[in-house]
Structure 1
């Protein structure tokens, strides 16, 4: 499978946006006003550059010397690039910046073999600059270099195209690519637009994703694989009735459910009452939960598929351990799981990492070969504390946007996507 990674340059490969660095040093006018108009969408980059060309003044030799002296790239980019070369993954740079500083920075870091697309410049004798746009799109003409057009041009030569970027000019390419590594403002944009992406801070994160091979998956249970809200409500109703209180309507249950039973009861009862009510809740729940527990849509099919592929599976749930194992047995999939850890099986519940650490030991896998799939912010915190990648699933308490605030490795659209992505290793 022939693969291509297209990388933005400014703020992605380069530590800072070299365009801004040069303007701070060599502009003779108010370039910030031009930039504000661009960021607010009042003008495109072509119009911005036409204005900047009038105020960017500098002798070519002085400008190039300044670039070489301030040529700072992500220190992890070179290892990333060399790994890609060794594994036949092509890397190209696509930038809405200016070619002269990209070329100079690549020369400085001995990376001149990397092809790049950018706006072309010519230094004038009076210290000014002429800018042309060989990669502009006829569709809109806003950007000097249309990154979407570059993605489309490469479609005939590559089976999969990945995009790495961070900003405004990367949005169209992100929509056009097969997969996106996103940071800064591009990440929330991808989340809002439902674009499949991984957040990253530097190229070490991307390199880790390229190398990762998933051998095991640990699932949260309620809201991820199964739904047992009715049983939970009946258990709470028993507690409220015995306390002489009227329970809230069933439709409001989700807003009161917390990370574990104790935290849920804490909202309504004193600490002493909570400890008295926990066994009452669990007794009632045990009486009714099997009749009110069912798979979430598509969960059984995905588990069948993963099991048949030999994927090592586990569960880490704040549901009482006995109930977690009972539910999976009742649903006919207990044999699929090498480890099922619930409340009472370890000394601390999620968000502490104890459950996942125990599951990893029982599954016989290191953290880097496992992902944790869950539907809550608590799940994301737990996975991070345990040192495993977390895939968020917006099927329970939280929306895709809410989950994104905790920066999980990935936010799945549904469980089916989990099975699909295992077919598509980087």
Structure 2
């Protein structure tokens, strides 16, 4: 199976946007106003370049020397490219930038063999630049280089097309690709438009994703695998009644749930009252939680499928450990888990990494072999603190936009998507090790 990875250049392969650097140094006019019109969607990049071409002044040798002096690229890109090349995976550059600085930077890093698609630019000295657009798409007219069309062309030649980018000109290409590695504003766009993507900051992370073989999955519990809101509410109701207070309506519970029990109670009780309320709440919860706990949609099927694949599983939950184990035992899936760790089992609750580290020890797996699945920003923080990739679910109280703030590795719409997410990105006959 032929695979290609199409990579944006400015801000993706290059550390900074070389086009902006050149304009700052060599423009003799108000290029910022042109850029603002482009970013606001009032003009496309072809029109922006046409206006900019007339205000850039400089000798070709001075411009090339400036490019060489600002030639920093992602420190992991070379190893990423060599890795892909060794395994028969093609890497190509698709850029809405200018060909002469891409060509110069690739040569400086001994990467001239990488094919690239970009706008053609000819330096005319005091007469500015002459820019042409060999990959312009008349049907759209926004970008000088139409990445959507380039993805479509490569789909005719390759069975799998992956895309890596960071900005405005990458949006259409991202929508057409089989999968996207996204950073900066492209990541926010992909999240908002429900385009499957993984967040990355460097090509070192992309390389790790290509190499990664998931051997274990650690789950949060409430809002991820199960829902026990009715039991939680009944426990809180007893605590409120103990202090002679009226509790909020049951449908408002999700917005009051905190990172842990103390966090849930803190808005309503003083520290002294919380110490008194917790055993009251837990007493009621213990009476009802088994019958009031149920799987979220697709949870049982997902656990069964992962178990069948031989993937080790664990739980890291801020629910009291014995309640976590009791709930999963009642649901008849406790045997699937190598470790079920909850509050009271380790010194510190999430977002500290103690729980995940304890589960990793019982799994006998390294952090890079595991993913953590949760539904809150605290879960994302926990996974990052423990050094594991985090897949965030929208099955809890947070929206995709909320979860995107934490920059998890990937945001899933449902547990069923997890089954695909833990599969290798590349087909089996493109092994990576």
Give the TM-score, by structure 2 length: 0.96
State the aligned residue count: 426
What CA distance in whole angstroms lies between the structure 2 residues aligned with 1:341 and 1:140? 53
Pairing of 1:276-355 with structure 2 (within 5 A):
276-355=276-355
Shift of 1:96: 0.6
Name 2:230's counterpart in structure 1. 230
Q: Which moved more, 1:185-194 or 1:264-273?
A: 264-273
What CA distance in whole angstroms lies between the structure 1 residues aligned with 2:100 and 2:123? 9
Q: Which moved more, 1:58-67 or 1:114-123?
A: 58-67
Q: Which moved more, 1:1-10 or 1:212-221?
A: 1-10
Pairing of 1:137-216 with structure 2 (within 5 A):
137-216=137-216
- Any idea what SS the aligned residue of 1:135 has? coil
- Any idea what SS the aligned residue of 2:358 has? helix
1:118-159 deviations in Å (ceiling 9; x for gaps): 011233476432211111112112111000000000112222
What CA distance in whole angstroms lies between the structure 1 residues aligned with 2:264 and 2:130? 65
Name 1:217's counterpart in structure 2. 217
Q: Which moved more, 1:327-336 or 1:415-424?
A: 415-424
Q: Structure 1 residues 66 and 311, CA, compared in 2 at 3 Å: closer, same or farther?
A: same
Name 1:17's counterpart in structure 2. 17
Name 2:89's counterpart in structure 1. 89
Name 1:40's counterpart in structure 2. 40
Structure 2 residues not aligned, in runs of 5+: 427-433
What CA distance in whole angstroms lies between the structure 2 residues aligned with 1:125 and 1:378? 55
Match status 1:73 vs 2:73: yes
Shift of 1:222: 0.6
What CA distance in whole angstroms lies between the structure 2 residues aligned with 1:133 and 1:280? 71
- Any idea what SS the aligned residue of 1:213 has? coil
1:278-336 deviations in Å (ceiling 9; x for gaps): 12211111111111111100111111100000000000011111111111111111110
Name 1:99's counterpart in structure 2. 99
CA contact (8 A) 1:60 1:127 kept: no
What CA distance in whole angstroms lies between the structure 1 residues aligned with 2:288 and 2:65? 75
Give the TM-score, by structure 1 length: 0.97
1:202-223 deviations in Å (ceiling 9; x for gaps): 2122122222211000000010
Structure 1 residues not aligned, in runs of 5+: none
- Any idea what SS the aligned residue of 2:338 has? strand
- Any idea what SS the aligned residue of 1:154 has? helix
Name 2:116's counterpart in structure 1. 116
